[in-house]
Structure 1
Amino acid sequence: MKEIGNGNVLLDVEGHRADVILNRPEKRNAMNESLLRDLRTALEKVDAADDVRVMTLQGKGSVFCAGMDLEMMRKLGRDDSETLDVGLDDITHFIDEMDVVSVASIKRGAIAGAFELVLPVDFRIISRDAKYGVIEVTLGVFPSGGATQRLPRLVGLSKAKEIVLSGDYIDPLDAKEIGLVHEIVDDPDETDERAMAYADDLAENAPLGMKSARELLNSALEMPLDEGLAFESAMGERLTETNDYTEGFTARIEGRDPEFEGK
Protein backbone atom coordinates (compact mmCIF):
# COMPACT_ATOMS: atom_id res chain seq x y z
CA MET A 1 0.00 0.00 0.00
CA LYS A 2 1.41 3.39 -1.03
CA GLU A 3 0.87 6.84 0.37
CA ILE A 4 -0.03 9.36 -2.31
CA GLY A 5 1.31 12.92 -2.16
CA ASN A 6 0.97 14.21 1.39
CA GLY A 7 -0.41 10.89 2.60
CA ASN A 8 -4.07 11.90 2.68
CA VAL A 9 -4.87 9.09 0.25
CA LEU A 10 -3.60 5.52 0.11
CA LEU A 11 -3.39 3.38 -3.02
CA ASP A 12 -3.23 -0.40 -3.06
CA VAL A 13 -3.28 -2.56 -6.19
CA GLU A 14 -4.13 -6.24 -5.96
CA GLY A 15 -4.48 -8.11 -9.23
CA HIS A 16 -6.86 -6.20 -11.46
CA ARG A 17 -8.31 -4.19 -8.54
CA ALA A 18 -7.07 -0.86 -7.23
CA ASP A 19 -8.19 0.39 -3.81
CA VAL A 20 -8.19 4.17 -3.37
CA ILE A 21 -8.51 4.96 0.34
CA LEU A 22 -9.16 8.38 1.88
CA ASN A 23 -6.70 8.71 4.76
CA ARG A 24 -7.75 11.39 7.27
CA PRO A 25 -9.44 9.09 9.79
CA GLU A 26 -8.91 11.57 12.64
CA LYS A 27 -11.16 13.99 10.69
CA ARG A 28 -13.55 11.29 9.49
CA ASN A 29 -11.84 11.64 6.09
CA ALA A 30 -13.26 15.12 5.54
CA MET A 31 -11.97 16.46 2.24
CA ASN A 32 -9.57 19.38 2.53
CA GLU A 33 -7.47 20.84 -0.28
CA SER A 34 -4.55 18.51 0.36
CA LEU A 35 -6.76 15.41 0.31
CA LEU A 36 -8.43 16.52 -2.93
CA ARG A 37 -5.04 16.95 -4.60
CA ASP A 38 -3.89 13.54 -3.40
CA LEU A 39 -7.15 11.97 -4.51
CA ARG A 40 -6.80 13.39 -8.01
CA THR A 41 -3.24 12.04 -8.21
CA ALA A 42 -4.37 8.59 -7.05
CA LEU A 43 -7.18 8.48 -9.60
CA GLU A 44 -4.78 9.47 -12.36
CA LYS A 45 -2.45 6.64 -11.38
CA VAL A 46 -5.32 4.14 -11.39
CA ASP A 47 -6.57 5.27 -14.78
CA ALA A 48 -3.07 5.02 -16.27
CA ALA A 49 -2.45 1.48 -14.94
CA ASP A 50 -2.81 -1.02 -17.76
CA ASP A 51 -3.68 -3.98 -15.52
CA VAL A 52 -6.32 -2.27 -13.38
CA ARG A 53 -9.89 -3.01 -14.44
CA VAL A 54 -11.89 -2.06 -11.34
CA MET A 55 -11.37 0.48 -8.57
CA THR A 56 -12.82 0.72 -5.08
CA LEU A 57 -13.19 4.00 -3.23
CA GLN A 58 -12.93 3.60 0.54
CA GLY A 59 -12.29 5.57 3.71
CA LYS A 60 -9.68 4.71 6.34
CA GLY A 61 -11.06 4.19 9.83
CA SER A 62 -14.65 3.97 10.99
CA VAL A 63 -16.33 6.35 8.47
CA PHE A 64 -16.09 6.60 4.70
CA CYS A 65 -16.21 10.39 4.49
CA ALA A 66 -17.84 13.24 6.41
CA GLY A 67 -17.90 15.50 3.36
CA MET A 68 -15.91 18.67 2.77
CA ASP A 69 -13.72 20.00 5.56
CA LEU A 70 -15.89 22.58 7.34
CA GLU A 71 -13.02 24.88 8.35
CA MET A 72 -11.82 24.98 4.76
CA MET A 73 -15.30 25.76 3.48
CA ARG A 74 -15.77 28.54 6.04
CA LYS A 75 -12.47 30.07 4.96
CA LEU A 76 -13.47 29.90 1.30
CA GLY A 77 -16.72 31.65 2.13
CA ARG A 78 -15.00 34.52 3.91
CA ASP A 79 -12.40 35.26 1.22
CA ASP A 80 -13.48 35.42 -2.42
CA SER A 81 -9.82 35.27 -3.45
CA GLU A 82 -9.44 31.79 -1.96
CA THR A 83 -9.81 29.04 -4.56
CA LEU A 84 -9.01 25.34 -4.69
CA ASP A 85 -6.38 24.03 -7.09
CA VAL A 86 -8.41 20.82 -7.28
CA GLY A 87 -12.09 21.02 -6.46
CA LEU A 88 -14.70 18.34 -5.87
CA ASP A 89 -16.10 18.95 -9.34
CA ASP A 90 -12.66 18.18 -10.82
CA ILE A 91 -12.63 14.86 -8.98
CA THR A 92 -16.15 13.79 -9.92
CA HIS A 93 -15.65 14.75 -13.56
CA PHE A 94 -12.45 12.70 -13.65
CA ILE A 95 -14.27 9.66 -12.22
CA ASP A 96 -16.89 10.10 -14.95
CA GLU A 97 -14.18 9.93 -17.60
CA MET A 98 -12.12 7.05 -16.19
CA ASP A 99 -11.82 3.81 -18.13
CA VAL A 100 -12.10 1.57 -15.05
CA VAL A 101 -15.31 0.45 -13.38
CA SER A 102 -15.68 1.79 -9.84
CA VAL A 103 -17.24 0.62 -6.57
CA ALA A 104 -17.73 2.86 -3.52
CA SER A 105 -17.74 1.56 0.04
CA ILE A 106 -20.05 3.88 1.99
CA LYS A 107 -19.19 2.88 5.54
CA ARG A 108 -21.23 4.62 8.26
CA GLY A 109 -21.45 7.92 6.44
CA ALA A 110 -21.27 9.88 3.18
CA ILE A 111 -22.89 13.26 3.57
CA ALA A 112 -22.84 16.49 1.57
CA GLY A 113 -19.70 16.51 -0.58
CA ALA A 114 -19.07 12.83 0.14
CA PHE A 115 -22.54 12.00 -1.21
CA GLU A 116 -21.63 13.88 -4.38
CA LEU A 117 -18.22 12.24 -4.54
CA VAL A 118 -19.78 8.79 -4.99
CA LEU A 119 -22.51 9.80 -7.47
CA PRO A 120 -20.32 9.20 -10.56
CA VAL A 121 -19.10 5.90 -9.11
CA ASP A 122 -20.67 2.95 -10.93
CA PHE A 123 -21.67 0.86 -7.90
CA ARG A 124 -22.34 1.95 -4.32
CA ILE A 125 -22.17 -0.47 -1.38
CA ILE A 126 -23.53 1.04 1.85
CA SER A 127 -23.69 0.00 5.50
CA ARG A 128 -27.15 -0.22 7.02
CA ASP A 129 -26.37 2.43 9.64
CA ALA A 130 -24.89 5.00 7.25
CA LYS A 131 -25.73 8.70 7.34
CA TYR A 132 -26.30 9.38 3.65
CA GLY A 133 -27.54 12.48 1.92
CA VAL A 134 -26.97 16.05 0.77
CA ILE A 135 -27.54 18.46 3.64
CA GLU A 136 -26.18 21.64 2.04
CA VAL A 137 -29.50 23.53 2.11
CA THR A 138 -29.34 23.32 5.91
CA LEU A 139 -25.88 24.96 5.81
CA GLY A 140 -26.80 28.03 3.79
CA VAL A 141 -25.67 26.74 0.39
CA PHE A 142 -26.73 24.04 -2.05
CA PRO A 143 -24.96 20.89 -3.32
CA SER A 144 -22.79 22.28 -6.12
CA GLY A 145 -20.52 19.26 -6.55
CA GLY A 146 -22.75 17.58 -9.11
CA ALA A 147 -25.85 16.50 -7.20
CA THR A 148 -28.26 18.82 -9.01
CA GLN A 149 -27.18 17.31 -12.34
CA ARG A 150 -26.25 13.69 -11.63
CA LEU A 151 -28.97 12.88 -9.11
CA PRO A 152 -31.94 13.51 -11.47
CA ARG A 153 -30.28 11.21 -14.00
CA LEU A 154 -30.00 8.47 -11.38
CA VAL A 155 -33.33 8.68 -9.55
CA GLY A 156 -35.54 11.03 -11.59
CA LEU A 157 -36.27 14.74 -11.16
CA SER A 158 -39.04 14.46 -8.56
CA LYS A 159 -37.05 12.25 -6.20
CA ALA A 160 -33.92 14.34 -6.73
CA LYS A 161 -35.83 17.46 -5.66
CA GLU A 162 -37.03 15.68 -2.53
CA ILE A 163 -33.50 14.62 -1.62
CA VAL A 164 -31.79 17.94 -2.36
CA LEU A 165 -34.41 20.44 -1.15
CA SER A 166 -35.28 18.64 2.07
CA GLY A 167 -31.69 18.30 3.23
CA ASP A 168 -32.73 15.10 5.01
CA TYR A 169 -30.71 11.94 5.30
CA ILE A 170 -31.78 9.05 3.09
CA ASP A 171 -32.38 5.71 4.73
CA PRO A 172 -30.15 3.12 3.01
CA LEU A 173 -33.17 0.87 2.42
CA ASP A 174 -34.96 3.70 0.62
CA ALA A 175 -31.78 4.50 -1.32
CA LYS A 176 -31.62 0.91 -2.53
CA GLU A 177 -35.29 0.91 -3.49
CA ILE A 178 -34.79 3.89 -5.83
CA GLY A 179 -31.56 2.48 -7.29
CA LEU A 180 -29.25 4.98 -5.64
CA VAL A 181 -27.24 2.25 -3.93
CA HIS A 182 -26.75 -1.31 -5.08
CA GLU A 183 -26.20 -3.32 -1.92
CA ILE A 184 -26.63 -2.91 1.85
CA VAL A 185 -24.24 -4.46 4.38
CA ASP A 186 -25.55 -5.03 7.90
CA ASP A 187 -22.15 -4.92 9.63
CA PRO A 188 -20.45 -1.60 8.80
CA ASP A 189 -17.02 -3.10 9.46
CA GLU A 190 -17.59 -5.51 6.57
CA THR A 191 -18.53 -2.83 4.02
CA ASP A 192 -15.01 -2.36 2.63
CA GLU A 193 -14.51 -6.12 2.36
CA ARG A 194 -17.79 -6.50 0.49
CA ALA A 195 -16.91 -3.67 -1.89
CA MET A 196 -13.59 -5.32 -2.70
CA ALA A 197 -15.26 -8.69 -3.30
CA TYR A 198 -17.83 -6.97 -5.53
CA ALA A 199 -15.00 -5.35 -7.48
CA ASP A 200 -13.11 -8.63 -7.82
CA ASP A 201 -16.19 -10.26 -9.35
CA LEU A 202 -16.47 -7.42 -11.87
CA ALA A 203 -12.77 -7.71 -12.70
CA GLU A 204 -13.34 -11.19 -14.09
CA ASN A 205 -15.32 -9.73 -16.99
CA ALA A 206 -13.79 -8.63 -20.26
CA PRO A 207 -12.17 -5.23 -19.64
CA LEU A 208 -12.77 -3.90 -23.15
CA GLY A 209 -16.41 -4.94 -22.99
CA MET A 210 -16.91 -3.25 -19.61
CA LYS A 211 -15.11 -0.09 -20.72
CA SER A 212 -17.20 0.18 -23.87
CA ALA A 213 -20.49 -0.61 -22.12
CA ARG A 214 -19.75 1.93 -19.37
CA GLU A 215 -19.02 4.63 -21.93
CA LEU A 216 -22.24 3.89 -23.80
CA LEU A 217 -24.36 3.75 -20.65
CA ASN A 218 -22.97 7.02 -19.34
CA SER A 219 -23.79 8.75 -22.61
CA ALA A 220 -27.21 7.12 -23.09
CA LEU A 221 -29.20 10.04 -21.71
CA GLU A 222 -27.12 12.62 -23.52
CA MET A 223 -27.91 11.71 -27.11
CA PRO A 224 -30.92 10.79 -29.27
CA LEU A 225 -31.82 7.11 -29.41
CA ASP A 226 -30.89 6.64 -33.07
CA GLU A 227 -27.51 8.27 -32.51
CA GLY A 228 -26.89 6.14 -29.44
CA LEU A 229 -27.79 2.93 -31.26
CA ALA A 230 -25.44 3.82 -34.12
CA PHE A 231 -22.67 4.49 -31.59
CA GLU A 232 -23.40 1.15 -29.91
CA SER A 233 -23.31 -0.74 -33.21
CA ALA A 234 -20.02 0.80 -34.29
CA MET A 235 -18.35 0.10 -30.95
CA GLY A 236 -19.66 -3.47 -30.93
CA GLU A 237 -18.22 -4.08 -34.37
CA ARG A 238 -14.81 -2.83 -33.27
CA LEU A 239 -14.77 -5.28 -30.37
CA THR A 240 -15.25 -8.24 -32.72
CA GLU A 241 -11.71 -7.57 -33.93
CA THR A 242 -10.12 -8.00 -30.48
CA ASN A 243 -8.42 -11.00 -28.92
CA ASP A 244 -10.83 -10.83 -25.97
CA TYR A 245 -13.78 -11.34 -28.30
CA THR A 246 -12.25 -14.54 -29.68
CA GLU A 247 -11.19 -15.71 -26.23
CA GLY A 248 -14.63 -15.17 -24.72
CA PHE A 249 -16.49 -17.28 -27.26
CA THR A 250 -13.73 -19.90 -27.46
CA ALA A 251 -13.74 -20.34 -23.69
CA ARG A 252 -17.52 -20.71 -23.66
CA ILE A 253 -17.39 -23.39 -26.38
CA GLU A 254 -14.58 -25.23 -24.58
CA GLY A 255 -16.34 -25.03 -21.22
CA ARG A 256 -13.60 -23.13 -19.37
CA ASP A 257 -13.16 -19.74 -17.75
CA PRO A 258 -11.92 -17.08 -20.18
CA GLU A 259 -8.57 -15.40 -19.73
CA PHE A 260 -9.13 -11.84 -20.87
CA GLU A 261 -6.14 -9.60 -21.52
CA GLY A 262 -7.79 -6.37 -22.59
CA LYS A 263 -6.52 -6.68 -26.15
Structure 2
Amino acid sequence: MESIGTGLAAIDWNDTRADVYLSRPDKRNAMTVDLMCDLTEAFERVDANEDVRAATLLGEGPAFCAGMDLEMMRDRVEPDSGIDRDVFPELLETIEEIRQPVVAGIKRAAPAGAFELTLPCDFRIIGREATYGLLEVRLGTFPHGGGTQRLPRLVGLSNAKEIVMTGEFVDPEDAAEMGLVHEVVDTDAVDERAKAFADGLCDNAPLGLRNAKRALNAALEMPLERGLAYERQLGYELDDTDDYREGFEARLEDREPAFRGE
Protein backbone atom coordinates (compact mmCIF):
# COMPACT_ATOMS: atom_id res chain seq x y z
CA MET A 1 0.00 0.00 0.00
CA GLU A 2 1.42 3.38 -1.04
CA SER A 3 0.63 6.30 1.24
CA ILE A 4 -0.30 9.53 -0.55
CA GLY A 5 0.40 13.12 0.49
CA THR A 6 -0.29 13.61 4.19
CA GLY A 7 -1.09 9.92 4.57
CA LEU A 8 -4.89 10.21 4.65
CA ALA A 9 -5.26 8.40 1.33
CA ALA A 10 -3.46 5.37 -0.06
CA ILE A 11 -3.21 3.34 -3.26
CA ASP A 12 -2.85 -0.41 -3.50
CA TRP A 13 -1.52 -1.18 -6.99
CA ASN A 14 -2.73 -4.56 -8.31
CA ASP A 15 -1.41 -5.07 -11.84
CA THR A 16 -4.18 -3.55 -13.99
CA ARG A 17 -6.37 -2.45 -11.03
CA ALA A 18 -5.70 0.35 -8.54
CA ASP A 19 -7.48 0.43 -5.17
CA VAL A 20 -7.72 3.96 -3.75
CA TYR A 21 -8.45 4.13 -0.02
CA LEU A 22 -9.70 6.84 2.28
CA SER A 23 -7.25 6.21 5.10
CA ARG A 24 -8.56 7.83 8.28
CA PRO A 25 -10.23 4.80 9.88
CA ASP A 26 -10.08 6.17 13.44
CA LYS A 27 -12.51 8.91 12.32
CA ARG A 28 -14.55 6.63 10.05
CA ASN A 29 -12.75 8.30 7.14
CA ALA A 30 -14.48 11.65 7.70
CA MET A 31 -13.17 14.04 5.07
CA THR A 32 -10.83 16.90 5.91
CA VAL A 33 -9.13 19.23 3.45
CA ASP A 34 -5.95 17.14 3.69
CA LEU A 35 -7.81 13.91 3.00
CA MET A 36 -9.58 15.40 -0.02
CA CYS A 37 -6.30 16.76 -1.40
CA ASP A 38 -4.68 13.36 -0.90
CA LEU A 39 -7.54 11.64 -2.74
CA THR A 40 -7.23 14.07 -5.62
CA GLU A 41 -3.51 13.32 -5.88
CA ALA A 42 -4.22 9.59 -5.69
CA PHE A 43 -6.63 9.68 -8.62
CA GLU A 44 -4.27 11.88 -10.63
CA ARG A 45 -1.62 9.18 -10.14
CA VAL A 46 -4.10 6.51 -11.25
CA ASP A 47 -4.95 8.52 -14.35
CA ALA A 48 -1.27 8.87 -15.23
CA ASN A 49 -0.55 5.14 -14.87
CA GLU A 50 -0.87 3.53 -18.30
CA ASP A 51 -0.99 0.04 -16.78
CA VAL A 52 -4.16 0.71 -14.78
CA ARG A 53 -7.40 -0.19 -16.55
CA ALA A 54 -9.88 0.29 -13.68
CA ALA A 55 -9.89 1.61 -10.12
CA THR A 56 -11.87 1.26 -6.93
CA LEU A 57 -12.66 3.81 -4.23
CA LEU A 58 -12.81 2.19 -0.79
CA GLY A 59 -12.75 3.11 2.88
CA GLU A 60 -10.04 1.71 5.11
CA GLY A 61 -11.50 0.09 8.22
CA PRO A 62 -15.14 -0.76 8.94
CA ALA A 63 -16.81 2.19 7.12
CA PHE A 64 -16.58 3.80 3.72
CA CYS A 65 -16.84 7.43 4.88
CA ALA A 66 -18.75 9.32 7.57
CA GLY A 67 -19.02 12.40 5.35
CA MET A 68 -17.33 15.70 6.01
CA ASP A 69 -15.44 16.22 9.26
CA LEU A 70 -17.97 18.07 11.42
CA GLU A 71 -15.42 20.31 13.13
CA MET A 72 -14.10 21.39 9.74
CA MET A 73 -17.61 22.16 8.52
CA ARG A 74 -18.34 24.21 11.64
CA ASP A 75 -15.12 26.20 11.32
CA ARG A 76 -15.22 26.76 7.54
CA VAL A 77 -17.61 29.72 7.89
CA GLU A 78 -15.14 31.67 10.00
CA PRO A 79 -13.41 34.47 8.01
CA ASP A 80 -9.93 33.32 9.05
CA SER A 81 -10.52 29.57 8.64
CA GLY A 82 -8.31 29.34 5.57
CA ILE A 83 -10.38 26.40 4.30
CA ASP A 84 -10.45 26.14 0.52
CA ARG A 85 -14.04 25.48 -0.51
CA ASP A 86 -13.01 24.35 -3.99
CA VAL A 87 -11.13 21.28 -2.77
CA PHE A 88 -14.19 19.00 -2.73
CA PRO A 89 -15.58 19.90 -6.19
CA GLU A 90 -12.06 19.57 -7.62
CA LEU A 91 -11.82 16.06 -6.15
CA LEU A 92 -15.16 15.03 -7.65
CA GLU A 93 -14.21 16.41 -11.06
CA THR A 94 -10.93 14.50 -10.93
CA ILE A 95 -12.74 11.22 -10.24
CA GLU A 96 -15.22 11.94 -13.01
CA GLU A 97 -12.61 12.84 -15.59
CA ILE A 98 -9.88 10.23 -15.12
CA ARG A 99 -9.61 7.86 -18.05
CA GLN A 100 -10.27 4.66 -16.12
CA PRO A 101 -13.68 3.57 -14.81
CA VAL A 102 -14.02 3.85 -11.02
CA VAL A 103 -16.01 1.48 -8.78
CA ALA A 104 -17.07 2.74 -5.35
CA GLY A 105 -17.44 0.24 -2.50
CA ILE A 106 -19.99 1.68 -0.04
CA LYS A 107 -20.00 -0.08 3.32
CA ARG A 108 -21.85 0.96 6.47
CA ALA A 109 -21.61 4.78 6.28
CA ALA A 110 -21.89 7.16 3.32
CA PRO A 111 -24.01 10.18 4.33
CA ALA A 112 -24.01 13.72 2.95
CA GLY A 113 -20.58 14.52 1.45
CA ALA A 114 -19.71 10.82 1.33
CA PHE A 115 -22.86 10.22 -0.74
CA GLU A 116 -21.76 12.99 -3.13
CA LEU A 117 -18.28 11.45 -3.26
CA THR A 118 -19.75 8.30 -4.83
CA LEU A 119 -21.75 10.11 -7.53
CA PRO A 120 -18.92 10.78 -10.03
CA CYS A 121 -17.82 7.15 -9.76
CA ASP A 122 -18.89 5.03 -12.71
CA PHE A 123 -20.23 2.14 -10.62
CA ARG A 124 -21.41 1.79 -7.02
CA ILE A 125 -21.46 -1.42 -4.94
CA ILE A 126 -23.30 -1.00 -1.63
CA GLY A 127 -23.67 -3.03 1.55
CA ARG A 128 -27.13 -4.02 2.78
CA GLU A 129 -26.69 -2.10 6.05
CA ALA A 130 -25.29 1.11 4.56
CA THR A 131 -26.60 4.49 5.68
CA TYR A 132 -26.66 6.28 2.34
CA GLY A 133 -28.30 9.63 1.78
CA LEU A 134 -28.13 13.41 1.66
CA LEU A 135 -28.77 14.94 5.09
CA GLU A 136 -27.83 18.55 4.39
CA VAL A 137 -31.35 20.02 4.60
CA ARG A 138 -31.37 18.82 8.22
CA LEU A 139 -28.11 20.67 8.86
CA GLY A 140 -29.14 24.12 7.72
CA THR A 141 -27.94 23.89 4.11
CA PHE A 142 -28.42 21.70 1.04
CA PRO A 143 -26.08 19.40 -0.92
CA HIS A 144 -23.98 21.62 -3.15
CA GLY A 145 -21.02 19.37 -3.87
CA GLY A 146 -22.73 18.10 -7.01
CA GLY A 147 -25.70 16.41 -5.35
CA THR A 148 -28.37 18.51 -7.04
CA GLN A 149 -26.72 18.19 -10.45
CA ARG A 150 -25.24 14.69 -10.70
CA LEU A 151 -28.02 12.90 -8.83
CA PRO A 152 -30.91 13.81 -11.21
CA ARG A 153 -28.80 12.55 -14.10
CA LEU A 154 -28.55 9.17 -12.37
CA VAL A 155 -32.05 8.66 -10.94
CA GLY A 156 -34.29 11.27 -12.56
CA LEU A 157 -35.55 14.57 -11.16
CA SER A 158 -38.41 13.19 -9.05
CA ASN A 159 -36.25 10.66 -7.21
CA ALA A 160 -33.50 13.23 -6.76
CA LYS A 161 -35.92 15.72 -5.22
CA GLU A 162 -37.12 13.10 -2.76
CA ILE A 163 -33.58 12.18 -1.70
CA VAL A 164 -32.41 15.79 -1.40
CA MET A 165 -35.48 17.41 0.12
CA THR A 166 -36.46 14.77 2.68
CA GLY A 167 -32.92 14.35 4.00
CA GLU A 168 -33.69 10.68 4.65
CA PHE A 169 -31.42 7.70 4.06
CA VAL A 170 -32.03 5.68 0.91
CA ASP A 171 -32.60 1.98 1.47
CA PRO A 172 -29.89 0.11 -0.51
CA GLU A 173 -32.46 -2.06 -2.31
CA ASP A 174 -34.42 1.05 -3.31
CA ALA A 175 -31.17 2.64 -4.48
CA ALA A 176 -30.59 -0.35 -6.73
CA GLU A 177 -34.13 -0.26 -8.07
CA MET A 178 -33.81 3.39 -9.12
CA GLY A 179 -30.39 2.78 -10.73
CA LEU A 180 -28.39 4.72 -8.16
CA VAL A 181 -26.26 1.69 -7.24
CA HIS A 182 -25.39 -1.33 -9.32
CA GLU A 183 -25.27 -4.12 -6.75
CA VAL A 184 -26.34 -4.70 -3.15
CA VAL A 185 -24.17 -7.20 -1.26
CA ASP A 186 -23.49 -8.25 2.31
CA THR A 187 -21.57 -5.60 4.22
CA ASP A 188 -18.47 -7.72 4.70
CA ALA A 189 -18.34 -8.46 0.97
CA VAL A 190 -18.41 -4.87 -0.31
CA ASP A 191 -14.70 -4.25 -0.82
CA GLU A 192 -13.99 -7.61 -2.43
CA ARG A 193 -17.01 -7.35 -4.72
CA ALA A 194 -15.95 -3.85 -5.81
CA LYS A 195 -12.48 -5.19 -6.61
CA ALA A 196 -13.93 -8.15 -8.51
CA PHE A 197 -16.21 -5.83 -10.48
CA ALA A 198 -13.20 -3.68 -11.39
CA ASP A 199 -11.24 -6.79 -12.39
CA GLY A 200 -14.04 -7.68 -14.79
CA LEU A 201 -13.68 -4.26 -16.39
CA CYS A 202 -9.91 -4.80 -16.65
CA ASP A 203 -10.53 -7.76 -18.96
CA ASN A 204 -11.93 -5.41 -21.60
CA ALA A 205 -10.00 -3.28 -24.07
CA PRO A 206 -8.57 -0.33 -22.10
CA LEU A 207 -8.76 2.13 -25.00
CA GLY A 208 -12.34 1.09 -25.65
CA LEU A 209 -13.21 1.57 -21.98
CA ARG A 210 -11.64 5.02 -21.88
CA ASN A 211 -13.40 6.29 -24.99
CA ALA A 212 -16.67 4.72 -23.90
CA LYS A 213 -16.43 6.60 -20.59
CA ARG A 214 -15.76 9.86 -22.43
CA ALA A 215 -18.72 9.35 -24.74
CA LEU A 216 -21.11 8.31 -21.97
CA ASN A 217 -20.12 11.20 -19.70
CA ALA A 218 -20.81 13.60 -22.57
CA ALA A 219 -24.18 12.05 -23.44
CA LEU A 220 -26.28 14.30 -21.21
CA GLU A 221 -24.20 17.40 -21.88
CA MET A 222 -24.70 17.57 -25.66
CA PRO A 223 -27.64 17.68 -28.06
CA LEU A 224 -28.15 14.29 -29.72
CA GLU A 225 -26.65 15.30 -33.06
CA ARG A 226 -23.45 16.59 -31.46
CA GLY A 227 -23.29 13.57 -29.15
CA LEU A 228 -23.54 11.15 -32.07
CA ALA A 229 -20.79 13.00 -33.93
CA TYR A 230 -18.57 12.91 -30.82
CA GLU A 231 -19.27 9.20 -30.39
CA ARG A 232 -18.22 8.50 -33.99
CA GLN A 233 -15.08 10.59 -33.57
CA LEU A 234 -14.05 8.61 -30.50
CA GLY A 235 -14.83 5.36 -32.26
CA TYR A 236 -12.80 6.24 -35.34
CA GLU A 237 -9.82 7.01 -33.08
CA LEU A 238 -9.60 3.30 -32.23
CA ASP A 239 -9.84 1.87 -35.77
CA ASP A 240 -6.08 1.78 -36.32
CA THR A 241 -5.06 0.39 -32.94
CA ASP A 242 -3.52 -2.96 -32.10
CA ASP A 243 -6.29 -3.64 -29.61
CA TYR A 244 -8.97 -3.21 -32.30
CA ARG A 245 -7.24 -5.76 -34.50
CA GLU A 246 -6.60 -8.09 -31.54
CA GLY A 247 -10.24 -8.01 -30.49
CA PHE A 248 -11.54 -9.16 -33.84
CA GLU A 249 -8.72 -11.66 -34.43
CA ALA A 250 -9.40 -13.23 -31.04
CA ARG A 251 -13.12 -13.52 -31.78
CA LEU A 252 -12.44 -15.12 -35.16
CA GLU A 253 -9.96 -17.55 -33.56
CA ASP A 254 -12.31 -18.32 -30.65
CA ARG A 255 -9.86 -17.29 -27.94
CA GLU A 256 -9.58 -14.66 -25.21
CA PRO A 257 -8.08 -11.38 -26.46
CA ALA A 258 -4.79 -10.11 -25.07
CA PHE A 259 -5.30 -6.35 -24.97
CA ARG A 260 -2.27 -4.11 -24.44
CA GLY A 261 -3.79 -0.64 -24.57
CA GLU A 262 -2.10 0.13 -27.87
What's the TM-score once normalised by structure 1's chain length? 0.97
Whether the 8 Å CA contact 1:37–1:86 is kept in 2: the answer is no
CA distance in 2, matches of 1:80, 1:210: 45
CA distance in 2, matches of 1:219, 1:78: 38
CA distance in 1, matches of 2:46, 2:40: 10
Structure 1, residues 197-234: CA drift from partner, whole Å, max 9, x if none? 00001100001111111111111011111111111112
1:75 corresponds in structure 2 to 75
Whether the 8 Å CA contact 2:33–2:83 is kept in 1: the answer is no
Question: How do residues 43-122 of structure 1 correspond to structure 2 at under 5 angstroms?
Answer: 43-79=43-79, 82-84=82-84, 87-122=87-122
CA distance in 2, matches of 1:39, 1:86: 14
Gapped regions of structure 1 (runs ≥ 5):
none
Question: How do residues 87-166 of structure 1 correspond to structure 2 at under 5 angstroms?
Answer: 87-166=87-166
Shift of residue 82, structure 1, vs aligned partner: 2.9
Whether the 8 Å CA contact 1:89–1:145 is kept in 2: the answer is yes
* Cα RMSD for the two superposed structures: 1.1
Most deviating of 173-182 and 237-246: 237-246
CA distance in 2, matches of 1:9, 1:220: 31
Structure 1, residues 131-187: CA drift from partner, whole Å, max 9, x if none? 00010010111111100100111111111111001000000000000000000012x
Shift of residue 85, structure 1, vs aligned partner: 7.2
Whether the 8 Å CA contact 2:37–2:91 is kept in 1: the answer is no
CA distance in 1, matches of 2:103, 2:15: 16
Counterpart secondary structure, 1:222: coil
CA distance in 1, matches of 2:91, 2:247: 34
Whether the 8 Å CA contact 2:75–2:81 is kept in 1: the answer is no
Whether the 8 Å CA contact 1:36–1:86 is kept in 2: the answer is no
Structure 1, residues 6-37: CA drift from partner, whole Å, max 9, x if none? 11111111011000001111100000111111
- Give identity over the alignment, percent: 57
1:212 corresponds in structure 2 to 211
Gapped regions of structure 2 (runs ≥ 5):
none
1:260 corresponds in structure 2 to 259
CA distance in 1, matches of 2:231, 2:178: 27
1:7 corresponds in structure 2 to 7
1:238 corresponds in structure 2 to 237
CA distance in 2, matches of 1:79, 1:61: 34
Shift of residue 238, structure 1, vs aligned partner: 1.8
1:193 corresponds in structure 2 to 192
What's the TM-score once normalised by structure 2's chain length? 0.98
Aligned residue type for 2:211: S
Shift of residue 80, structure 1, vs aligned partner: 6.2
CA distance in 2, matches of 1:80, 1:183: 43
Aligned residues: 262
Question: How do residues 162-181 of structure 1 correspond to structure 2 at under 5 angstroms?
Answer: 162-181=162-181
Whether the 8 Å CA contact 1:33–1:86 is kept in 2: the answer is no
Aligned residue type for 1:113: G
Aligned residue type for 1:116: E
CA distance in 1, matches of 2:80, 2:150: 27
